[in-house]
Chains A and B, each alone.
Chain A
């Protein structure tokens, strides 16, 4: 069968499974006796093995198989997971991830065999065999017992209620056959519900289905793994059903057990036992053959969740967003022409406006992804770092469900990794230093995400040593980035801003993790290309907070249109604090910088006309008052001088195109109602 069509699904699912393994292994490391987690890890590894086998990736299959061996031994209490073992398991994950990435890039799993990892896994198994000889015999006998039940001489009968039992009893009395059937689908089967449906059709034509596990509705909604069990009453023979069901495509096995009168008696006894032990019983019976089966409750929950979602290619969403953008442009044009002509259609146009706004909101929401998808790889990363640096680090995450545009999510990962590493490496002190400073030996890093108006804020805070402003000052002078006089006149906060300049690094020693001189400036550039902002705040001895602010949406925003000379510009409303009319004489000079006083605050003036080189700016003398748009960049304010205000408008942000991608002060372009282009000002680079 051609597997290429499944490749994308395989890659995506494999990545999800690997991520889940990551999370579970971390959990396991914390609590190595947690059976639930062990079972979960085993189940995921097993699914991965099946998936890679179906796709023909034999190396992945071998590796996951070995993993499974070790996990199975852990599960059966043959030994306890220590952190070395978890290390090996993590290495397996890394290897698997490399396989998946290679597959994503080339379609082949590549020729790396990761023999060291496989050997390590093998060794673990060897060790357990030699050390625990005595227990081995016990385990062996257990295995025999296992395989006995696996071969299915008599699998336990599914849980039946009194009503079912009565029905079955009646049926047996009238010489009908009662069978319990377990149907197992191929691991590679994609249309599980459809296959199951066909099986049910056969069953219903030839018998009466009195019980189905999971429920028929769940099976129809594909809320089952790869097998389901039914109890039927029929006149037909067992062989008839085996033949009929096996003729359905993608069925890997059918197990049919006749139910006799005697069985019912024991079942009746069993019904007394609590439900949990009963399901457990089924689980152990089927464990080896169907570890991937969805018997546990939380498994069910997950399937229910995925049952209502659709995977959509991001390109299609982009297309949809573009169409919405077009719609908004044409709506703006309609609005403008109706205002001019005093049109009677004004009401319909207002309605249109409401609809387009809601449509935009809806499309935007579709594109939103919780930051969890980025955050969930960090616990593992911090664990690795803490072992590498020999520091005890605890990562506290909150607000994982905060949502961001998909395109932002894809880009935000690297900058966050960088800041987190920075906090772990430079921010947090070593074990001894912490104790000396009367701090608990475990360093904390807080990763928080939350929504703040039209922005999403992500904070990375550590309770480490803080940034040494003096050290930064020395470094600036030493690197010749600025003269000592200038540096001395700067406040600590201003000095710390230098961390974001290219070629800056204060680490005394260069470690593997950070301190290569490339870093925070790259973070800053990246965040700014996303229309965001990064700030740092640090208290000596207490810790450092990095704050990233990112606009919720990238495509359509509310903006204020302004005129400077004969040119029109758009300023994003999100970065405007207020509008002020200032008399020319109110402008003062402070340190060669024009400023105005705004409620006792000194706000620097930015003459947009001069900076943007507008040829026909209106001179101050011609105006009674100067219109200032007070823009905010983080906490700081700047007063942008414009000639006049045109109005507020919903605008569609378009890129300036590749040719002009590096242009300063401009964040993009937008098409106005009259078809002309207005440029969108980049407040962050213009503000002082």
Chain B
């Protein structure tokens, strides 16, 4: 009975920080989390594309979420992590300021944002969750990757 509840109503998210904001991404889309990797800059690519890295023999594009969201760039430090997402056989690394924990959320904790506004810039956002007094913005990683592929 309890297991069923786990499957249906509870989702796990990797919580991470970019700037002051805490974000969450569906744990099923996360392939691996790495410390900073040596990336090769790709000329003529948009500035939020930091470059490509070698992830165990595979070439993976790495993107800075800070730059993507229009925040100022900061020096990479011990806390900096690259989260490698996998969706539809496409690997994408996303550089975040720090990775905090894995949070387990109930459906009822998540509030949809489309109810509040129709703003297109909110396309990447699945919803906002309240967890222990914190507000976590849940990212739609599929949407983010699909958009990159369309360009």
Q: B61 and A656: CB pair below 8 A? A: yes
Q: B91 and A657: CB pair below 8 A? A: yes
Q: Which residues of A contact B91 (CB under 8 A)?
A: 657
Q: A669 and B52: CB pair below 8 A? A: yes
- Whether B54 is near chain A, meaning CB under 8 Å from some CB there, is yes
**Which B residue's beta carbon lies closest to that of A671?**
B54
Q: Of A326, A654, A655, A656, which contacts B42 at CB under 8 A?
A: A656
Q: Which residues of A contact B41 (CB under 8 A)?
A: 567
**How far is B42's CA from A658's CA once the two chains are assembled, in angstroms?**
14
Q: Are A677 and B52 also in contact (CB < 8 A) when A654-B59, A663-B45 are? A: yes
Interface residues of A in 670-688 (CB under 8 A from B): 671, 675-679
Proximity string of chain B (36-52) to chain A, C-beta cutoff 8 Å, 1 when within and 0 when not? 00111111110001011
Q: Are A676 and B43 also in contact (CB < 8 A) when A656-B52, A659-B61, A660-B49 are? A: no
**How far is B50's CA from A677's CA once the two chains are assembled, in angstroms?**
13
**Which A residue's beta carbon lies closest to that of B148?**
A659
Q: A613 and B44: CB pair below 8 A? A: yes
- Whether B27 is near chain A, meaning CB under 8 Å from some CB there, is no
**Which B residue's beta carbon lies closest to that of A615?**
B41
- Whether A664 is near chain B, meaning CB under 8 Å from some CB there, is yes
**How far is B44's CA from A666's CA once the two chains are assembled, in angstroms?**
9
CB proximity of A418 to chain B, nearest CB, Å: 27
Interface residues of B in 54-76 (CB under 8 A from A): 54, 57-61
Q: A677 and B53: CB pair below 8 A? A: yes
- Whether B90 is near chain A, meaning CB under 8 Å from some CB there, is yes
Count the A residues whose beta carbon is within 8 Å of the partner chain — how many? 27
Q: A658 and B149: CB pair below 8 A? A: yes
Q: B42 and A679: CB pair below 8 A? A: yes
- Whether B92 is near chain A, meaning CB under 8 Å from some CB there, is yes
**How far is B58's CA from A658's CA once the two chains are assembled, in angstroms?**
13
- Whether A611 is near chain B, meaning CB under 8 Å from some CB there, is yes
Interface residues of A in 290-331 (CB under 8 A from B): 326, 329
Q: A613 and B43: CB pair below 8 A? A: yes
CB proximity of B55 to chain A, nearest CB, Å: 10
CB proximity of B32 to chain A, nearest CB, Å: 16
Q: Of B42, B57, B90, which contacts A663 at CB under 8 A?
A: B42
Q: Which residues of B contact A676 (CB under 8 A)?
A: 38, 40, 54
Q: Which residues of B contact A613 (CB under 8 A)?
A: 43-44
**How far is B52's CA from A658's CA once the two chains are assembled, in angstroms?**
12
- Whether A665 is near chain B, meaning CB under 8 Å from some CB there, is yes
Q: B90 and A657: CB pair below 8 A? A: yes
**Which A residue's beta carbon lies closest to that of B60?**
A657
Q: Which residues of B contact A666 (CB under 8 A)?
A: 42-44
Q: A567 and B40: CB pair below 8 A? A: yes
CB proximity of A9 to chain B, nearest CB, Å: 29
- Whether A598 is near chain B, meaning CB under 8 Å from some CB there, is no
**How far is B42's CA from A678's CA once the two chains are assembled, in angstroms?**
10
Q: Which residues of B contact A669 (CB under 8 A)?
A: 40, 52, 59
Q: Of A657, A658, A665, which contacts B43 at CB under 8 A?
A: A665
CB proximity of B52 to chain A, nearest CB, Å: 5
- Whether A510 is near chain B, meaning CB under 8 Å from some CB there, is no
Q: Which residues of A contact B53 (CB under 8 A)?
A: 677
Count the B residues whose beta carbon is within 8 Å of the partner chain — how many? 25
CB proximity of B21 to chain A, nearest CB, Å: 24
Interface residues of A in 628-675 (CB under 8 A from B): 654-660, 662-666, 669, 671, 675
**How far is B149's CA from A568's CA once the two chains are assembled, in angstroms?**
26
Q: Which residues of B contact A567 (CB under 8 A)?
A: 40-41
**Which A residue's beta carbon lies closest to that of B44?**
A664
**How far is B39's CA from A671's CA once the two chains are assembled, in angstroms?**
11
Q: A659 and B149: CB pair below 8 A? A: yes
Q: B43 and A660: CB pair below 8 A? A: no
Q: B40 and A678: CB pair below 8 A? A: yes
CB proximity of A489 to chain B, nearest CB, Å: 29
CB proximity of B143 to chain A, nearest CB, Å: 14
Q: Which residues of A contact B57 (CB under 8 A)?
A: 326, 329, 671
Q: Which residues of A contact B54 (CB under 8 A)?
A: 671, 675-677
Q: Are A657 and B45 also in contact (CB < 8 A) when A677-B40, A677-B52, A679-B40 are? A: no
Q: Which residues of B contact A664 (CB under 8 A)?
A: 43-44
Q: Which residues of B contact A678 (CB under 8 A)?
A: 40
Q: Of B39, B40, B61, B151, which contacts A657 at CB under 8 A?
A: B61
Proximity string of chain A (126-166) to chain B, C-beta cutoff 8 Å, 1 when within and 0 when not? 00000000000000000000000000000000000000000
Q: Which residues of A contact B149 (CB under 8 A)?
A: 658-659
CB proximity of A488 to chain B, nearest CB, Å: 32
- Whether A589 is near chain B, meaning CB under 8 Å from some CB there, is no
**How far is B110's CA from A58's CA once the two chains are assembled, in angstroms?**
58
**Which A residue's beta carbon lies closest to that of B145?**
A659
**Which B residue's beta carbon lies closest to that of A672?**
B54
Interface residues of A in 211-255 (CB under 8 A from B): none
Interface residues of B in 92-151 (CB under 8 A from A): 92, 145, 148-149, 151
Q: A660 and B42: CB pair below 8 A? A: yes
CB proximity of B49 to chain A, nearest CB, Å: 7
**Which B residue's beta carbon lies closest to that of A679?**
B40
Q: B44 and A657: CB pair below 8 A? A: no
**How far is B145's CA from A55's CA once the two chains are assembled, in angstroms?**
44
**How far is B45's CA from A662's CA once the two chains are assembled, in angstroms?**
9
CB proximity of B1 to chain A, nearest CB, Å: 43
**How far is B51's CA from A162's CA once the two chains are assembled, in angstroms?**
82
Q: Which residues of A contact B60 (CB under 8 A)?
A: 657
- Whether A513 is near chain B, meaning CB under 8 Å from some CB there, is no
- Whether A210 is near chain B, meaning CB under 8 Å from some CB there, is no
CB proximity of A674 to chain B, nearest CB, Å: 9
Q: Which residues of B contact A677 (CB under 8 A)?
A: 38-40, 51-54, 59
Q: Of A329, A612, A660, which contacts B61 at CB under 8 A?
A: A660
**How far is B51's CA from A676's CA once the two chains are assembled, in angstroms?**
12
Q: Which residues of A contact B92 (CB under 8 A)?
A: 659
Q: Which residues of B contact A611 (CB under 8 A)?
A: 43
**How far is B36's CA from A676's CA once the two chains are assembled, in angstroms?**
13
**How far is B53's CA from A655's CA once the two chains are assembled, in angstroms?**
12
Known: A659-B49, A664-B44, A666-B43. 5 other contacts (CB 8 A): A613-B44, A614-B43, A677-B39, A677-B52, A678-B40
> 10 tightest A-B contacts by CB?
A612-B43, A677-B40, A659-B61, A654-B59, A669-B59, A671-B54, A664-B44, A659-B148, A677-B54, A676-B38
Q: Taking beta carbons and an 8 Å cutoff, which residues of A are in contact with B?
A: 326, 329, 567-568, 611-614, 654-660, 662-666, 669, 671, 675-679
Mind listing 14 A-B residue pairs with CB under 8 Å?
Answer: A326-B57, A567-B41, A656-B59, A657-B52, A659-B148, A660-B45, A663-B45, A664-B43, A677-B38, A677-B51, A677-B53, A678-B40, A679-B42, A679-B43
Q: Taking beta carbons and an 8 Å cutoff, which residues of B are in contact with A?
A: 38-45, 49, 51-54, 57-61, 90-92, 145, 148-149, 151
